């Protein structure tokens, strides 16, 4: 029988909200069995950059990471946000360890090439996630807390989308023999058919459903890459993927992504 593993990805908006983060961490440690937390932190990075006089540049919701911004996100994601979450988990009795993709070589990336003429700078596209290395932490009864940073194997850190980090980690852990549930936790109760109505949660989405919703505009914007990451994880052997509200990570709520 495969060991069950739950991976929860929490976005920067929740990380910035004290009440939501407190509740999420309590709910997270209540999940039975081994678990991994992957976090964002973009809003905090933007605030710190502003204090340092560094301009934040975005294209289609994605951060342009030049050399100055890379220093900011490395400090904020890998330091400020990551270690605060680790400390709070320790205070709740959970033995956690903070990681970036460079630590133990768990997530290796390649610098993103130009896309449609846009240079995203020091942004990494994941090439490999090392499930066996991550499993060592779990076997030591540690909870990995993973910041959205990877490395290129040549000494350079890279800013990496947290949803992608979670999806690639889930795939690697499934390949390493775990029965994986991946939960994307954010501000809404699931994928909504009407963005203005929190009661319009779509209960399940398959590849076919996704293409139809994308074509008719029901699903658009930032939800598109999130669902693409979710479907990619399911295709790679992740047992369940759920998109849900950060205060409802018990596996009983939200949108289930399936074949």
- What digits encode the pLDDT tens for the residues 99-138? 999 999 999 999 999 888 889 999 999 999 999 999 999 9
Residue-number span of the structural domain to which 166 is assigned: 3-257
| Token couple for 233 | 């994880």
The per-residue pLDDT of the chain, averaged, comes to 95
According to the per-residue pLDDT averaged within each range, which of 9-18, 60-69, 192-201, 218-227 is highest?
A: 192-201
pTM: 0.95
Total domains, the chain: 1
Distance from the first to the final alpha carbon of the chain: 23
Check residue 1 and give its pLDDT.
Answer: 66
77-87: pLDDT as tens digits: 999 999 999 99
pLDDT at 198 over 80: yes
CATH, residue 102: 3.40.1160.10
**CA 65 – CA 161 distance, rounded (Å):** 12
Q: What are the tokens at 50?
A: 């502003």
From 55-59, 158-162, 206-210, 232-236, the region with the lowest mean pLDDT: 55-59
Q: How many CB atoms lie within 10 A of CB 126?
A: 21
How does DSSP assign the chain, residue by residue? -PEEEEEEEE-HHHHH-HHHHHHHHHHHHHS-S-EEEEE--HHHHHHHHHHTTPPP-EETTEE-B-HHHHHHHHHIIIIIIHHHHHHHHHHTT--EEEE-TTGGG-EEEEEPPPBTTB--BSBEEEEEE-HHHHHHHHHTT-EEEE-SEEE-SSS-EEE--HHHHHHHHHHHHHHTTEEEEEEEEESSSS-BSSTT-TT-B--EE-HHHHHHHHHHTSS-TTHHHHHHHHHHHHHTT-SEEEEEETT--SSSSSEEE--
pLDDT class of 13 with cuts at 50, 70, 90: confident
Q: How far apart are CA 230 and CA 184, in angstroms?
A: 9
């Amino acid at each position: 029988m495969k060991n069950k593993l739950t991976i929860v990805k929490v976005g920067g908006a929740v990380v910035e909200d004290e009440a939501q983060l407190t509740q999420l961490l309590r709910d997270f440690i209540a999940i039975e069995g081994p678990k991994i937390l992957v976090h964002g932190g973009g809003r905090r990075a933007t605030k710190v950059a502003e204090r340092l006089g560094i301009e934040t540049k975005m294209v289609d919701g994605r951060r342009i990471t030049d050399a100055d911004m890379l220093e900011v996100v490395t400090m904020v994601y890998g330091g400020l946000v990551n270690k605060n979450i680790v400390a709070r988990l320790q205070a709740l009795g959970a033995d956690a360890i903070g990681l970036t993709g460079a630590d133990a070589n768990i997530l290796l990336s390649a610098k993103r090439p130009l896309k449609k003429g846009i240079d995203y700078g020091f942004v990494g596209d994941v090439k490999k996630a090392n499930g066996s290395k991550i499993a060592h932490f779990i076997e030591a009864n540690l909870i990995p807390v993973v910041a959205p940073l990877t490395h290129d194997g040549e000494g350079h850190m890279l800013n990496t989308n947290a949803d992608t980090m979670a999806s690639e980690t889930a795939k690697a852990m499934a390949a390493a023999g775990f029965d994986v549930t991946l939960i994307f936790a954010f501000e809404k109760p699931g994928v909504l058919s009407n963005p203005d109505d929190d009661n319009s949660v779509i209960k399940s989405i398959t590849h076919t459903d996704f293409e139809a919703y994308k074509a008719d505009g029901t699903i658009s914007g930032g939800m598109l890459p999130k669902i693409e990451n979710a479907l990619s994880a399911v295709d790679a052997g992740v047992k369940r993927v759920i998109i849900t509200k950060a205060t409802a990570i018990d596996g009983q709520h939200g949108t289930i992504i399936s074949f």
